[in-house]
Amino acid sequence: MAWLRNDVLSFLPDLITYTTLTLVVAIVLPWLIRRQRKIWLIEQIPGPKGLPILGNALDVNVEPRELFKKICGFCDFGNVARIWLGQVPYCLVSEAANAEVILSSQKHLDKSRDYNFLHPWLGSGLLTSTGSKWHSRRKLLTPAFHFKILEDFVEVFNNQSNKMVQKLQQKADGKPFDIFPFVTLCTLDIICETAMGCNINAQDNSDSDYVKAVYRIGALVQLRQARPWLQPNILFRLSGYAKEHDACLKILHKYSCDAIRSRRREYLEMKQKKDAASDKEDVIGKKKRLAFLDLLLEYSEQQTALSDNDLREEVDTFMFEGHDTTAAAINWSLYLIGCYPEIQARVDEELQSIFGDSDRPVTMDDLREMKYTENCIKEALRLFPSVPFLGRDLKEEVVIDNYRIPAGTTVMVVIYCLHRDPAQFPNPEVFDPDRFLPENVSKRHPYAYIPFSAGPRNCIGQKFALMEEKILLSNILRKFRVESVTRQEDLLILGELILRPENGNTLKLTPRA
């Protein structure tokens, strides 16, 4: 028996080696087959040539202005184009029917990995969450954007825009200046007051730590998205940027958390004081304007319990999505109206018919009358959508334009190019607000115009944004004539998180008689 035992022991290492190799092959071979199939499918889609391993990563290792041009240039390969960022495939979609396949689907709801760099700031709020959490949050938050709720914010829009107009009066001497910061600080004050119920007075104190942190963290997120070597956490920390990033987070989160604690305390105090017969309005005070945070506190008690961290995620998401995008839309509207005197004359005629020479604030009825002004804003959002790209991660294979795009691919809808499709918008580079007359809208594909995205994950705050944009824009144009200094062909555009002019929005303002 000793010889048998010795034979078994001598054979054991070979058996272990053979078993290990078999397991490795059994695991790796299917993965390699799937990987090769994925590469083969992606390579059927037209796109630029790339390098081994790096793909097209070096092509996009450029300054932000050039990066935007590069991405738009990739769309010239076709309505569906492909690039490789390292080993990650991206498919760029720039045609309405193809965008509909992704955006209308209930299956392709997960945002792309590019949004991961917002998680430290926004957590998994409405913008960045997925699956059941996104569905429950969307259902919870939708009532907060009801028309009757938004009506309460008209006073805030008027008050803050009047403050902005007063500051612009000091610049209305016919000399060129950059109006972009004035509008941005105004929208920041508005979103703070409407989201959290507090005022940071950004228009009077643009050097506050909170204001600087909002701007800087956006720049750091964009920097990280565009540079693959900064994306791993360890390399981001070694680069030195993480220290600055964390300092911004500390300021932003502290402000939100302080506001949440304060409003929760007020909510509980008011609830304790109510009479047994009080209605829901009196729970938090009939005379008090409700911020989104107050509504979340109320919904949290009535429906789904939300922790302070849950509330912070949503409040910070409102802050991120609700000021820069709106500021960009207003600035682009001012820029384009300032380029076309005949269009400005039509806006002036409409505003005169509504307000005459009065200084009264804008009302909800006035907003309904601003049809041409609204069309100017919509056309500005067509030419310069505040968010130029949307990204989704595919969890299963999908067919777009007869191309089979495998799971694991990032699909990027390039809104800037989609909005310039001549099949949908003849003479697409021309600013023509009449494109949004009802008879013209009815002729277009429903996904040809998507400045607020579309489908199940469309922007929940688009009515809020359009109301704010109409009030701010009309209050500026009631006081001043606008003249743009930069020609459209000379524009330098930054396609970062938000689409903005690289050198600001330089205008001349002249007081109206």
pLDDT tens for 79-112 read: 999 998 888 899 999 999 999 999 999 999 998 8
Rg (C-alpha) for the chain, rounded Å, is 27
CA gap 26, 22 in Å, rounded: 6
Can you name the residues that pair with 500 across neighbouring β-strands?
A: 494
For domain 44-134+146-206+308-511, the CATH superfamily is Cytochrome P450 (1.10.630.10)
Can you name the residues that pair with 83 across neighbouring β-strands?
A: 90
Can you name the residues that pair with 317 across neighbouring β-strands?
A: none
CA gap 210, 356 in Å, rounded: 39
Q: Is 419 helix (H, G, I), strand (E, B) or coil?
A: coil
DSSP state of 227: -
Render pLDDT for 231-244 as a digit per residue (tens, 0 to 9): 888 989 989 899 99
In this structure, of 192-196, 286-290, 304-308, the range with the lowest mean pLDDT score is 286-290
Which pLDDT value is given to residue 301? Answer: 78
Render pLDDT for 37-75 as a digit per residue (tens, 0 to 9): 788 888 899 999 988 888 888 888 777 778 888 999 999
For residue 420, what are the contacts with CB-CB under 8 A and spacing of at least 6? 383, 428, 429
Distances (CA, A) of 8 to 5, 16, 23, 366: 5, 12, 21, 92
Using the predicted structure, report yes or no on whether residue 280 has a pLDDT greater than 60.
no
CA gap 398, 499 in Å, rounded: 29
Q: Show the DSSP H helices in 370-419 as ranges.
A: 371-383, 415-418
CA gap 41, 163 in Å, rounded: 56
For residue 277, what are the contacts with CB-CB under 8 A and spacing of at least 6? none
Q: What is the DSSP string of 125-151?
A: STTT--HHHHHHHHHHHGGGG-HHHHH
CA gap 504, 16 in Å, rounded: 67
- Which percentage of the chain shows pLDDT scores above 70? 92
Please check whether residue 296 is in contact with residue 306, taking contact to mean a CB–CB distance below 8 angstroms: yes
What confidence tier does 115 reach under pLDDT thresholds 50, 70, 90? confident
CA gap 497, 471 in Å, rounded: 24
Task: Tell me which range, 145-154, 168-177, 198-207, 376-385, is most confidently predicted by mean pLDDT.
Answer: 376-385
For residue 161, what are the contacts with CB-CB under 8 A and spacing of at least 6? 186, 471, 472, 475, 476
Using the predicted structure, report yes or no on whether residue 337 has a pLDDT greater than 50.
yes
Q: Is 396 helix (H, G, I), strand (E, B) or coil?
A: coil
Name the residue among 496, 452, 186, 183 with its Cα closest to residue 335.
183
pTM confidence score: 0.89
CA gap 43, 25 in Å, rounded: 26
- Which percentage of the chain shows pLDDT scores above 90? 50
Render pLDDT for 318-336 as a digit per residue (tens, 0 to 9): 888 888 899 999 999 999 9
Q: What are the boundaries of each domain within the chain? A: 44-134+146-206+308-511
Using the predicted structure, report yes or no on whether residue 282 has a pLDDT greater than 50.
no
Name the residue among 379, 333, 326, 328 with its Cα closest to residue 493.
328
Which pLDDT value is given to residue 325? Answer: 92
A 10 A CB-CB count for 300 gives 17
CA gap 168, 171 in Å, rounded: 5
Render pLDDT for 438-493 as a digit per residue (tens, 0 to 9): 999 999 999 999 999 999 999 999 999 999 999 999 999 999 999 999 998 889 89
CA gap 87, 60 in Å, rounded: 14
Pairing of strands 398-400, 480-484: unpaired
CA gap 70, 159 in Å, rounded: 41
Can you name the residues that pair with 507 across neighbouring β-strands?
A: 177, 484
A 10 A CB-CB count for 363 gives 14
**Span 406-419, mean pLDDT?**
95
CA gap 245, 220 in Å, rounded: 7
| Mean pLDDT of all residues belonging to the chain | 88
Q: What values do phi and psi take at 285, rounded to 5?
A: 100, 115
Q: Is 508 helix (H, G, I), strand (E, B) or coil?
A: strand
What one-letter code names the amino acid at 84? W
A 10 A CB-CB count for 156 gives 20
Which pLDDT value is given to residue 285? Answer: 44
